[in-house]
Amino acid sequence: MTSLRRCVRYSNKVDARLSDPSVEIWRRAYYVPINDRVAWEHGGGWGLFDADGATIEASNYYRGPGKNVVGQGLSTDLPLSSIDVAPPGKYLYGGNLINHYGHFLLSTLSRFWLAHIEDISHYRIVCHAAGTPSSWFSNRFVRDIFGSLGLTEKNFVVFKRPTLLPEVMVPRPSAEEHNFTHQIYNNLGRTIGQNFLRDFELEINDRPIWLSKTKLGSGVQGIANEDRIVELMEAEGVEIIHPQELFPLAQVMMFNTRSKIMSAAGSALHTKLFGAAGRVICLINHETINSNYALTETFSPNPIEFYTCDMHESTSATKKFNQSLVIENPENVARELLSAIHN
């Protein structure tokens, strides 16, 4: 009996755009910061506003499907005539700097597409985020990915009080979760991958690998009985890799040197944005594919192959994932994944 079923349909339509996003120049833009004591996604009135107190739409952080603003205000009633003025400089708006790997790649990084066509290190890049550039860059993936574009924490600015920006350049995002993706977003990813790997001679390794969550302390979604898949795969010579234990460089190198990658759904697969050497197979829990994968896969020369199987949600009180799934025949699923990656 076959356990795996191939999936080809996304959960909603994502627009594929060949043209580059637009860039807007705003004079007298008003920056209202995130309140460090309030989770940014829960509101607080932060954002970038015009002289009338209305949101600058190009700066908004949306998540789809549709245009759902996350956290920020659509207008401000602050007295804009009596606020701080930003120091002189050439300002570029970098959007919301999100300290979560998947959302960082899909949303934060998507505003940095100009780095694919020009050096942006001469701008003062102003972002919305809790903390400071120093605290952002204490996160290894933020430091390494921005570093691949020639950026350090000294390039970034955050204001803790409402501040007037006499002039700021606002690039629209090159990808928006569940909504659209531009080709230049994929091009930016490949540029970052090439910058990571330019000092290395790469050799393709055909030994299959499985990206495991068995050592992950917590997460959004996981497989409760993944250990049974891991056990069979190890016996068949598959290398088990735990992505959270790898530095960003090692993750990028893995995707660019390993020709047979298998994984359950997760943020680690978004690293494929930076290039991939061969086939990638992903096990998902629905017949339809989460449309966020379309952001990285639409313009990919070797898109991820998605499969699903019979599974149900765990009722265990000790589950470590928000959604913990139980595969009904894990050994058979593991064998079929191996057959798929070898064929």
Task: Read off the pLDDT of residues 210-236 as tens digits, 9 standing for 90 and up.
Answer: 999 999 877 788 899 999 999 999 999
Q: Is the pLDDT of residue 318 over 70?
A: no
How far is the CA of 7 from the CAs of 91, 223, 286, in angstroms?
44, 19, 8
Q: Looking at the structure, tell me whether residues 130 and 244 fall in a common domain.
A: no
Residue with tokens 């197979």: 281
Closest CA to 161 of 261, 79, 92: 79
Q: Looking at the structure, tell me whether residues 212 and 91 fall in a common domain.
A: no
User: What is residue 321's predicted lDDT score, i.e. its pLDDT?
Assistant: 79
Q: Which residues of 22-50 are buried (b: 16+ CB within 10 A; e: fewer)?
A: eeeebeebbbbbbeeeeebeeebbbbbbb
Q: Which residue has the higher pLDDT, 36 or 169?
A: 169
| DSSP H/E element including 136 | helix 133-136
Lowest mean pLDDT among 38-47, 269-278, 323-332: 38-47
Would you say 264 and 99 are in contact if contact means Cβ atoms under 8 Å apart? no
Closest CA to 14 of 159, 214, 174: 174
Which pTM was predicted? Answer: 0.93
| DSSP H/E element including 333 | helix 330-342
Q: Is the pLDDT of residue 1 over 70?
A: no
Residue 196 lies in a domain: no
Cis peptide upstream of residue 173 (ω within 30 degrees of 0):
no
Q: How confident is the model at residue 77 (pLDDT cuts 50, 70, 90)?
A: confident
What one-letter code names the amino acid at 277? A
Residue with tokens 């209202």: 32
- 161 exposed, middle or buried (CB, 10 Å; 0-12, 13-18, 19+)? exposed
Q: Looking at the structure, tell me whether residues 92 and 144 fall in a common domain.
A: yes
Q: Is the pLDDT of residue 195 over 90?
A: yes
Q: Is the pLDDT of residue 112 over 80?
A: yes
Q: Is the pLDDT of residue 177 over 80?
A: yes
* Length of the chain in terms of residues written: 343
User: What is residue 323's predicted lDDT score, i.e. its pLDDT?
Assistant: 87
Helical axes 183-197 vs 248-257, angle rounded to 10°: 100
Closest CA to 254 of 304, 198, 203: 203
Domain that holds residue 79: 21-173
Q: What is the mean pLDDT of residues 126-143?
A: 95
What one-letter code names the amino acid at 297? E
Q: Looking at the structure, tell me whether residues 146 and 215 fall in a common domain.
A: no
Residue 195 lies in a domain: no
- In 3-state terms, what secondary structure has residue 258? strand
Angle at the Cα of 28 (from 22 to 29), degrees rounded to 5? 60
Residue 270 lies in a domain: yes
What is the percent of the chain where pLDDT is above 90? 84
Q: What is the mean pLDDT of residues 303-319?
A: 86
Q: How confident is the model at residue 300 (pLDDT cuts 50, 70, 90)?
A: very high
Q: How confident is the model at residue 13 (pLDDT cuts 50, 70, 90)?
A: very high
Would you say 309 and 4 are in contact if contact means Cβ atoms under 8 Å apart? yes
Q: Looking at the structure, tell me whether residues 25 and 115 fall in a common domain.
A: yes
* CATH number assigned to the domain comprising residue 321: 3.40.50
Q: Looking at the structure, tell me whether residues 34 and 95 fall in a common domain.
A: yes
Q: What is the mean pLDDT of residues 181-192?
A: 97
Q: Looking at the structure, tell me whether residues 163 and 208 fall in a common domain.
A: no
Domain count, the chain: 2
Q: Looking at the structure, tell me whether residues 167 and 218 fall in a common domain.
A: no
What's the chain's Rg over C-alpha atoms?
Answer: 21
The tokens for 168 are 């700021």
Q: Looking at the structure, tell me whether residues 25 and 167 fall in a common domain.
A: yes
Q: What is the mean pLDDT of residues 158-171?
A: 96
Backbone angles phi, psi at 341, to 5 degrees: -70, -25
